[in-house]
Structure 1
Amino acid sequence: MICCLNPDCPHPLNPDGEKNCRTCSTPLVPLLRNRFRVIQVLSDEGGFGRTYLAEDIDKLNERCVIKQLAPKVQENWAMAKAIELFHKEAQRLQQLGEHPQIPTLFAYFEQDNYLYLVQQFIDGHNLLKEWQQKKRYSSREIQEILLDLLPVLKFIHERGVIHRDIKPQNIIRRKSDGRLCLIDFGSSKQLTARVQFKMGTSIGSHGYSPIEQIRDGKAYPASDLFSLGATCFHLLTGTSPFQLWTEHGYSWVKNWRQFLKNPPSDEILFLLDKLLRKDIHQRYQSADQVLKDLAKKRHLPLKQSNVGEIPPPTQSSSVSRKYALLRNFFLIGSAILLLVLGEFFYRQSQQMESFVSSSVSRGTKPGDILNQSHNQTIGNFQLMRTWKLSGKSISAMAISPNGQTVMSNSDDNIKLWSVATGQEISVFSGHRNRVNALVVSPDGQVLVSGSTDRTVKLWNLARGREIRTLEGHLDSITTLAISPDGKMIADGSNDKTVRIWNLATGEVMRTFIGHSAEVSSVVFSPNSFLFATASADKTIKIWNFATGKQIYNLVGHSAGVTSLAISPDGKILASGSSDRTIRLWNLATGKQIRSLNTSAEVKSISFSPHGQILASGGDDAKIQLWNPTSGEKLYTLVGHLGTVNAVIFSEDGKTLISGSQDSTIRIWQVVN
């Protein structure tokens, strides 16, 4: 694909070999500066141009990021100022790129009346995605994050730069060495320079940015430190500062400790107390101040009578040394114990993925039927629990990221269940007709439901309250998905359309039109670049999410496509159909890899977290488990008495949950 560089082009991707853009007729540029091949749009820069993902052919097609300056301003002074600031940004990045944890500047040039700035692409996962996998950070891990990032902040602040947008999404753990890298300096400004465009004053992300930045548009080193504190708070508690800011404004920072599920160390409590001060004058003023407190060897008290004052030690120096030795001995022993336990639980989580070999060693062969009796183990699966609703068919389910709560439809209500006990926790009421789809945000804060009443509702899971209702479809909502970054909701409807909503604002971002029958399934790729939709019209469509343009139309099923799933590595798209097959497709090329023949119409499919198992539920009341690499059927789980409409894995891979037309939910666990 070749990307159009017209910043106003609504659909910039074009097939290779095209001379002019198919959408806007702009001449296409195969290589910028005869070196950089632009492959897709990453983001729009608020009327100042676009940011692209590209390949550097001089470096064996190494990926890089290209920022384009194309400001939509009329005044000569405004254009001159934009060019001046862009040039200064390039100079700053050249200087900042000397730091190993900041992207390097590769090039800065003008071409075809646009300015371009080329930066290093950091290969890794940001801390939000890392949190979604871990679900919990220890005090030691938070301390390591602070020790890794504070020197970076000290470095940029000493050079007169404020980042202004520190949050988990802008911190990437580099795959090569595990170091944390600070990205997205697009909103950075010199301490002595103020942008005077009449396009708004605040830069940053609500919840993570301090009050002086959002209210007054002013930012200082202490502003970045607040954002770093909010980031650590999010990772430590699992609670999104944006959600708290939406509901409570800045009042949440006064009582941030109430959101703790597991109390951290006294040191971390003390540091976050001071990082999260609403009043900038009561906050840490420099990264050095935080580093000095982190370097202190003595134990910090939970509460301080005066902000910034640390009471003198009450023990003698000899006692302190003994205490330090004992404390270090305890920490080393604890670390060893944690490593042993971590290895044990890691192996437990791998059991789901490797159960074939371990089961064969016990004499159980792939394809065997697992007995439905509770507490009887065959292979690596055990039916742990079954609970039944009063005559309510289960057609929609979701599981919380921590794996502790299952949500299911119950006619026009939503019920929450404890996975551990099977007890009903809560009931959400508000829809006027049957609930058909459920999905939970990656941070576990928001439940989204879609209904035959043509609406999508957002619920605060912790409080059980409705946040907002999304309306606009002309027929029933049939399917839902949330983007991996938790920012967007996708829904599919019987009105043959798909809508993308901004989860935070409830605004429609994009509408996909193209199917000739009701939409049955929608799914985002792990990187959110691609988006897949399925329909009763027997087709699957792959879309470029950034542009809204259809890339592929997958044809092969002989009946309606009922369910889609994408492997965790983003390489394989699986589709289930009423034609009693599951088809596996190469997501990048749209080519079919193989077809799996099932014993029934497929109603639901789901990949395990490591991608080595594909589960399917059908109208024969069975759950079938497949090896997606070889196409081999591994096992069949029986026990349901009606169509299995939903199968989902927990994020740790230890639990498989199924919901059926027989009004039951079943919990299957991996055992030794």
Structure 2
Amino acid sequence: MLCCLNPACHNPSVPDGEKYCPNCNVPLVILRNRYRPVKSLGGGGFGKTYLAEDTDKLNEKCVIKQFAPQVQETAALQKATELFEQEARRLQQLGEHPQIPTLLAYFQEDSRLYLVQQFIDGQNLLKELQQQGTFSEGKIRDLLQDLLNILQVVHQQKVIHRDIKPENIIQRGDGKIVLIDFGASKQLTKTVMTAQGTTIGSFGYAPLEQMQDGEAYPASDLYSLGATCFHLLSGIHPWQLWKSQGYGWVRNWRQHLQQAVSEELGQILDKLLQEEYQQRYQSVGEVLQDLNFQPVIATPVLPLASTVIPQSRASILLAPQGFLKKLSKQNFNFRKILLLGAAITLVGTQIYGYVRYGLFPTNPISIIASKDSDVFLKRTLTGHSSPVNSLAISPDGNTLASGSSDKTIKLWNLATGEEIRTLTGHSHRIHSVAISPDGKTLVSGSSDKTIKLWNLAIGEEIRTLTGHSESVDSLAISPDGKILATSSYDNTIELWNLATGEQIRTLIGHSDSVSSLAISPDGKTLASSSWDNTIELWNLTTGEEIRTLTDHSNRVISVAISPDGKTLASGSADKTIKLWNLGTGEEIRTLTGHSSPVDSLAISPDGKTLTSGSGDFTIKIWRLK
């Protein structure tokens, strides 16, 4: 098939061999005797876009952008021409990035300019919104992570996109996000011409400085990103609000949501959507810091019968945002090993942190050890290129596993700090890792919606488990090593046979993301916390819901069960910790003192000490009795 390239025509596709368009009688052409246009993809007054085939590459699909403006006004035409060429230069400059289309050719033919670029096989997010409905918070977080990483590269190249919106974001078949349209030739049909110059951007998504003064900064792209997230969360085009409220809509955007978002994400969107660009985030790195500072669910406690900590040394130091919940007795006489990340200072000792993105470019894992009354830095492990979100220590205390946003898992010799190997296979960041009680199997959960099982000894992937429709955030393995529990942003918990990988059942009861899991030492009870402000207790054997605990006034972020199986602790965004009788579900008491959400909890092996970490940058140590 061949498509007419006359911009004034409706561009019918005609069979090969035809020489003239049956609609407009214009000759049909193959550009440069190589690029065969096969279908019009639409366009505006400054040109059209066509799906094409590259005959020099076995008819590989590509995209032709045609510049054929229908205006005669000299200044506007000159500006449009500059922008079209600018798009080609930007693609040439940025096209090495795997999530930005590659420029294939730029040339003039028949008095028209043409740009040929890589074809992205996928669907833009506006179409996805129309087909599947509003996005969940988990999906927005994943989108932000992907887009911010792309924008960081773009801005480092001194390029401002200036037209970020759902139509310009494509999700490929492999789940990856691709940012398109780095020129404004198409968007010029929707811009405002002012006496000061030509303002570029799409109504509703473009910030004040672009629409009013024609200026753009990195913070301008970040505003457009915030408006895009709002559109996908609410289903409401920001232009609809802008028409009646101007930029005033950004101050009350929450009231248009169908479902509330967390305080943390809300604060990020608040700062992205500031009307004055000076009040917004000034760089992608700042947004990534706050985005990755959101609660990262630590690996649940595995049985600690083999771990002995003297009563006088039972207190545990843990860093906020995803505490290591595993302690192991070591041969070098240290009584406690803590693997931490995101730089905080505690009692004069600097403890590196693994969650706050960008504070340390190497994303180190630090081993903090205590001997007698001293606490000191034993060793720092470097190798990950993005935040380390979860850690697990093998039962024999020899191996450390670390899961990272760089999509890898690293295995380390805990005694020497040497990297043993890197495990790759996940296509998105890894949220949680856990090791089976027998030390043979490593389990990882990822934003790619899968769970992977690995042979810990040789590092080979055993199998991939699929069943969740959103990011997998928390893992728990039963004390006998037979059952794996996983939780997700899709509001469900899946139970699996760890040995065979077979799905046992799905637990449905929460109405929002399930943030954390804990299994009682006797293996009978599963506790799950959720952003729906509740904790559910389940019979792990039958999958039946035992009871719902509802006294928190905000989302519940973390749960932990005492070694004797009698006490459940829960940490919440309401800034409190609640202690519950696990057997009866009765609330024992509420602990207050944190000034921000309580993100993680751990209970010492003797059951006497509870530690809590919070977004207020503090760790609190409590006597459970």
TM-score when normalising by structure 2: 0.46
TM-score when normalising by structure 1: 0.43
